[in-house]
Amino acid sequence: MNLGRVVGSIVATRKDERLRGHKLLLVQKLKPGEGGQFIPSKGSSEFLVSVDLVGAGTGELVLYTSGSSARNAASESYDNPIDAAIVGIVDQTDIDERVLIL
């Protein structure tokens, strides 16, 4: 699992039939930074489009998974076109004994 922040939503009026009924969210990948805060990951794949399985909203810190784990979380079928799925909303983190309530 990975940590990210929902920064927006994606609207696609035309999409693969297997994605109908799934909300798509734009997630910024995060990593631990100085002082126990989370900072954006740097790189070419800093953002990703994820299927929301838990009702997350913009600004929330989320757990997401990718690859076959995301396909498995979203469906019992492995033939769906899902590469990333939000599987949890983070309420609190503990980094270096500092509790961060989000």
In contact, 48 and 25? CB cutoff 8 Å: no
Domain coverage including residue 43: 2-101
Please identify which residue in the block is written with the tokens 């994820």: 50
CA angle 10, 58, 82 (to 5 degrees): 45
Verdict on whether the full-model pTM lies above 0.75: yes
List phi, psi (to 5°) of 7.
-115, -5
The number of distinct structural domains making up the chain is 1
CATH number of the domain where residue 89 is located: 2.40.50.220
Sequence-separated (6 or more) residues with CB below 8 Å from residue 35: none
pLDDT tens, N- to C-terminus, the chain (102 residues): 899 999 999 999 888 888 888 899 999 999 887 776 788 887 657 899 999 999 999 999 999 999 888 888 887 666 788 899 999 999 988 776 655 555
